[in-house]
Structure 1
Amino acid sequence: MPVTQRNNAPTALEKRFVITGGPGAGKSTLLEALATAGIRHMPEAGRAIIKDQVAIGGEALPWGNSEAFAELMLSWELRSWHEAAEIAGPTLFDRGVPDVIGYRRVAGLSVPDHIWRAAEQFRYAPTVFVAPPWEAIFTGDAERKQSFAEALATWETMVTTYTELGYTLVELPRASIIKRVAFVREKLGW
């Protein structure tokens, strides 16, 4: 019987890497720095949804209709997951489908079955980077209205959620952006 050689192209899971954590921990800054090195990324759903909802006077906001906000987040994350399939190389995600579960938990909302199914069906690479709370760089803005205490609670919830879903978490160092970029590249062999 002939031996079938494995294609060396990365599988769908090996191409999708998540960076999660609480707000204001430097995830987006890290992803922008990695993008300048030519590494593709998918932007965070929450910020974009908030900007759009504010612009149109919509109510699907964390401080408005949090149920609608969570459903928009899920749709965004699923679209990003599918879009990454069209990218030749690896893609980093500024949050992923499991973050929707974490958001709902932080907001005190139940997690419907369809969101659990989405988190199980639309998987990412087994290694997930988590940005720890870092008060020295934490700032609020028009889209980020959480306090540092809320950022800490969000981080704890994301760690719990991703762990429950079977991911291995790698904590990003509280270090300069140059060191964080080098850390991620080294861990991923890029």
Structure 2
Amino acid sequence: MDRFIIISGCSGGGKSTLLEELARRGFSVIEEPGRRIVAAELAGDGKALPWLDAETFLRKAIALSLEDLQRASALPGRVFFDRGLLDAASALAAMSGEPVLQQFAGQWQFHAQVFLTPPWPEIYRQDAERQHGLDAAVEEYERLLRDYPALGYEVVELPKVSVGERADFLLDRVAQP
């Protein structure tokens, strides 16, 4: 759907902060599935964590992303996704060799432009939910830079500017025909 807009990119690059700004401006946003899964796992038995069982974690992320898409279908106007289905499928395909990326790419259509946050070492922070280092985040970013265009999406790198300026940049881009 042209109204479903993906914000992806490097972990710790400011995606969640940007989504908070878009929500503040009245847009519908879908929080990152991975962070929600990690928070739930840390509060529970903690088995489907990316650093313990990455495959189970990614399969859960795909299932949650599919639920998010169904829920987003009922929301009005543009919906901004913090990562989501194609990110999880890209990671699972890279890990397992399964053709899940192509499988899911054909099921849902997103806005033609995917917005990526570039690596930004000055703001990158590890925490309880983000235990991987910047090197792993950069590797992930490079995989997404390859996978999204391979699926026919135009990658737009978000500038390293204030969150308000980032939101303005993104909204200007999606408003263009």
User: Would you say same fold, with TM above 0.5?
Assistant: yes
What is residue 106 of structure 2 aligned with on the other side?
Answer: 120
- CA contact 1:42–1:94 (8 Å) conserved in 2: yes
- 1:50 aligned to 2:38? yes
Any idea what the Cα deviations from partners look like across 1:70-113, whole Å, max 9, x if unmatched? 110001111111111101111000012110133235xx621423
Aligned runs of 1:39-188 on 2, under 5 Å? 39-104=27-92, 109-188=95-174
- CA contact 2:92–2:98 (8 Å) conserved in 1: no
Any idea what the Cα deviations from partners look like across 1:105-124, whole Å, max 9, x if unmatched? 5xx62142345312221221
- CA contact 2:113–2:156 (8 Å) conserved in 1: yes
Per the alignment, in what secondary structure is the counterpart of residue 49 of structure 1? helix
TM-score w.r.t. structure 2 length? 0.94
Residue type of the partner of 1:17?
I
Residue type of the partner of 1:110?
S
* Superposed CA RMSD: 1.5
CA distance in 2, matches of 1:90, 1:164: 24
Structure with higher Rg: it is 1
Of residues 11, 24, 28 in structure 2, which corresponds to 1:23?
11
- CA contact 1:101–1:161 (8 Å) conserved in 2: no
Residue type of the partner of 2:50?
P
CA distance in 2, matches of 1:179, 1:89: 21
Residue type of the partner of 1:121?
Q
Per the alignment, in what secondary structure is the counterpart of residue 109 of structure 1? helix
- CA contact 2:89–2:100 (8 Å) conserved in 1: no
TM-score w.r.t. structure 1 length? 0.88
Instruction: Give 4+ residue runs of structure 1 displaced > 4 Å after superposition.
Output: none
Residue type of the partner of 2:154?
T
Any idea what the Cα deviations from partners look like across 1:9-51, whole Å, max 9, x if unmatched? xxxx111000000210000000101110001110001111011
**Gap runs ≥5 in structure 1:** 1-12
Percent identical: 34
CA distance in 2, matches of 1:109, 1:180: 32
What is residue 32 of structure 1 aligned with on the other side?
Answer: 20
Residue type of the partner of 2:70?
H
CA distance in 2, matches of 1:71, 1:111: 14
